[in-house]
Structure 1
Amino acid sequence: MEASLRNKRVLVVGRGSGLARAVSDAALAAGARVIAAGRHFSILEKDYQGTDVIVKSVDLIDEDSITALAEDLGRVDHVVSVASARARGKLSELSPEAIILSFHTKVVGPIMLAKHFAPKMPEDGSFVLFSGVAALEPDPGFLGVAATNGSVNTVIRSLAVELAPIRVNAISPGTVDTGAWDSLGEQKKAELFASLSKVNPSRRIGTPEDIAQAVVFAMTNTFMTGVSLAIDGGQPLV
């Protein structure tokens, strides 16, 4: 059975671009009332200018900030956390600070979101967290990312049991064409995408819209919980 998002209140935590923006747009298209929250309120406000999205401020590494947002918003039906702080780099390059920030943003912060928002949610509500393909595909330079994403896959199972019947799921994207790869430079980014597209069973790179569709599915499928949906084009298979 699939539920509707029409007139449901959906909180999307993350930036105003990339995956978070695609999720917000998809939820709006499905009839939801969307609240976007993140650390940089002024940037979010600018990114969502001219839309029906309500913008709020929250810092996932500050529990008081999460508490304040929950008290401000009251009841919401679905919470989606897209925020990340990638601890990329080979072992010799990793710092404790980068790893801790990654865990705080994608693991500890979402746990605190569940702590403070679940008591205000209806029984048919849901949380959607973000994992990632690195948890399934060991690769030099992605140890910190893999550890964080693997933890998310564990957290959703525990939360799904503890918060039942509120559902808790994760989306695990593969390589997606967002601004996250722009730091490589245009040529290196194009070369990476071409090489991955050549071997991926899907024969292409993912789009933010691919991921957003999966988030809407996770929010509306009322018989799915404790699941990490791999939207990765089969990337770990090769």
Structure 2
Amino acid sequence: METALEGQTVVVIGRPSGIARAVTLAALAEGAHVVVAGRDRVKLAAAYEDEGVRAEEVDVTVDESIEALAERLGPIEHLVTTASARARGRLGELEREDLRKSFDTKVIGPVMLAKHFAQRLTRSFTLFSGVAAFKPAVGFLGVAITNGAADFLTRSLSLELAPVRVNAISPGVIDTGIWDSMGEEGKQAYFEHFRTHNPARRIGTPGDIASAVVFAMTNPFLTGVTLRVDGGEPLT
């Protein structure tokens, strides 16, 4: 039985862990040829050595790096970028450079990816927003405005790149290594709060997000949409 992405090339930009890894493995399971790309090509190659995935180097904040990747890869069916740089903190703690880096990575970066892959991309482009765009909270101002811009960018690019489909995924609280800096006790308390308050009554997994990405890549009538895979968190 033919799988959903059989024989198609999927490029996944991001770290070799968490959501990006889950997306890579999900695409492989659907029969895709997957190329992973990020700032550290050696680290990526080592992480996917057992899967035989091709690793490439790209920095989404550098136009020449994006253009070079597009030229090396040639025609592809799907492009996914999970790259982010979060500007967390209350208003008094935010620095201009952190905000610039956040926008450069998650908003301007995808714009430049779209620009340089426009003539090579044939089916879909998936980028990431986030729950902070739909449920602002103190301490997440920089994250919220970045994700909000990514949400609007999705709709704009769906018109610019048509008939290539452009969609975004907006995760809620997902159990990845990003929370490890809180310490085990802090992390578990944080997770417990969200688990007991969101309507899904659980914390999301990278697999939940990867499934949504595969759906976005394979549904031929879905474009200009942000899929909110957040356990209903903004409702609370």
Structure 2 residue 196 is matched with structure 1 residue 198: yes
Name the structure 1 match of 2:99: 99
* Residue matched to 2:53: 53
The answer for the alignment partner of 1:163 in structure 2 is: 161
| TM-score normalised by structure 2 residue count | 0.98
| CA–CA separation in structure 2 for the residues paired with 1:121 and 1:157 | 17
Q: Please give the residue correspondences for 1:14-29 in structure 2 after superposition, counting only pairs within 5 Å.
A: 14-29=14-29
Following superposition, the deviation at residue 119 of structure 1 comes to 0.6
Deviation (angstroms), 1:4: 2.7
Q: Point out where structure 2 has 5 or more consecutive residues left out of the alignment.
A: none
Distance, in Å, in 1 between the alignment partners of 2:143 and 2:16 is: 22
Structure 2 equivalent of residue 121 of structure 1 = 121
Does structure 2 conserve the Cα–Cα contact (< 8 Å) formed by 1:169 and 1:226?
yes
Structure 1 spans left out of the alignment, 5+ residues:
none
2:181 to 180, 183, 186: 183
RMSD: 0.8
Residue 7 of structure 1 is matched in structure 2 by 7
Q: How many residues align structurally?
A: 234
Q: 1:210 aligns with which of 208, 211, 215?
A: 208
Shift of 1:113: 0.7
Aligned to 2:86: 86
Q: Deviations over 1:70-99 (max 9, x none)?
A: 000001100000011010111111101100
Give the deviation of 1:41 after TM superposition: 1.4
Q: Report SS of the residue matched to 2:194.
A: helix
Structure 1 residue runs of 4+, over 4 Å off? none
Q: Does the Cα contact within 8 Å between 2:199 and 2:232 map onto a contact in 1?
A: yes
What are the superposed Cα offsets for residues 29-87 of structure 1, whole Å, 9 maximum, x if unpaired?
Answer: 00000000001112112211211211000000000000000000001100000011010
Q: Secondary structure at the match of 2:175?
A: coil
**Are residues 1:225 and 2:223 paired?**
yes
Q: How far 1:195 sits from its partner (Å)?
A: 1.0
Q: TM-score, normalised by structure 1?
A: 0.97
Give the Cα–Cα distance (whole angstroms) in 2 for the partners of residues 45 and 52 of structure 1.
9
